[in-house]
């Protein structure tokens, strides 16, 4: 397993400041001449509350990170990372948790089996290993609580934990967000 020097992994709980931190990375990147940034949004709006939440996040991004483009990619994340990544473009993925939800606990349709999920996770790892430009990954740290009661929820928590481990091993920087504060977990020299 290789460490992709241009990957940062930002983890935290709900409302910990993960997205705001990632937007800050994009804002700083965009201040350099010739740089672009795109947010790969994995959320899907299946109800009115989620539609409002997505719209609010979109509006907040415009004010916090002007120039940050958005692409909605609920399923084909590895392909999007490969397609969008370039030396002059920062790719922000927000978030891995919702991507996994779309694949393992979809609102409509059937979930991926373990083999298909493993292939998706490995495809994302390969896309990150081949990255030519910076990537910022955002995800929810949900493994600190009680073990879920249902087999489906336990499968999800286990899959997310394995995904997080794979991302952290590849990242040169891992940041844990706690109450809006950045806690350095891993930082390799540039």
Q: Does position 3 have pLDDT exceeding 80, yes or no?
A: no
Is 57 annotated as catalytic?
yes
Q: How far apart are CA 84 and CA 79, in angstroms?
A: 9
Active-site pick, 35, 57, 88, 169: 57
Alpha carbon 125 to chain centroid distance? Answer: 13
Percent of the chain at pLDDT > 90 equals: 77
Q: How far apart are CA 25 and CA 39, in angstroms?
A: 11
CATH of the domain at 95: 3.40.50.300
**What digits encode the pLDDT tens for the residues 162-189?**
999 999 999 999 999 999 999 999 998 7
Mean pLDDT of 12-36: 95
pLDDT value for 5: 52
pLDDT value for 1: 45
**Of 142, 166, 136, which Cα lies nearest the Cα of 6?**
136
- What are the φ and ψ backbone dihedral angles of 62, each rounded to 5 degrees? -60, -40
**What digits encode the pLDDT tens for the residues 58-76?**
888 888 888 999 999 999 9
Crossing angle between the packed helical segments 151-170 and 114-129, to the nearest 10 degrees: 20
Residue pair 139/97 in contact (Cβ under 8 Å)? The answer is yes
pTM across the whole model: 0.93
The total of structural domains in the chain comes to 1
Domain range enclosing 94? 4-187
CA distances from 28 to 33, 72, 136 (A): 11, 22, 13
| Maximum alpha-carbon separation in the chain | 51
Residue pair 80/71 in contact (Cβ under 8 Å)? The answer is yes
Residue pair 25/90 in contact (Cβ under 8 Å)? The answer is yes
Mean pLDDT of 111-138: 97
With residues binned 3-state (H G I as helix, E B as strand, rest as coil), the percentages for the chain, rounded to 5, are: 45, 25, 30
């Amino acid at each position: 397993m290789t460490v992709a020097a241009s990957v940062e992994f930002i983890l935290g709980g709900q409302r910990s400041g993960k997205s705001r931190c990632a937007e800050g990375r994009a804002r700083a990147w965009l201040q350099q001449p010739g740089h672009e940034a795109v947010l790969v949004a994995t959320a899907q709006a299946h109800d009115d509350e989620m539609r409002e939440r997505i719209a609010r996040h979109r509006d907040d991004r415009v004010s916090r990170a002007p120039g940050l483009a958005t692409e909605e990619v609920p399923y084909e994340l590895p392909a999007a990372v490969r397609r969008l990544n370039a030396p002059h473009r920062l790719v922000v993925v927000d978030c891995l948790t919702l991507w996994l939800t779309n694949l393992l606990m979809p609102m409509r349709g059937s979930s991926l089996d373990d083999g298909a999920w493993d292939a998706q996770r490995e495809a994302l790892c390969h896309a990150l290993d081949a990255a030519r430009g910076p990537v910022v990954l955002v995800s929810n740290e949900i493994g600190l609580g009680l073990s879920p009661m249902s087999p489906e929820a336990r499968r999800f928590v286990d899959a997310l934990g394995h995904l997080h481990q794979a991302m952290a091993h590849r990242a040169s920087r891992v940041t844990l967000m706690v109450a809006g504060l950045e806690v350095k977990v891993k930082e390799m020299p540039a």
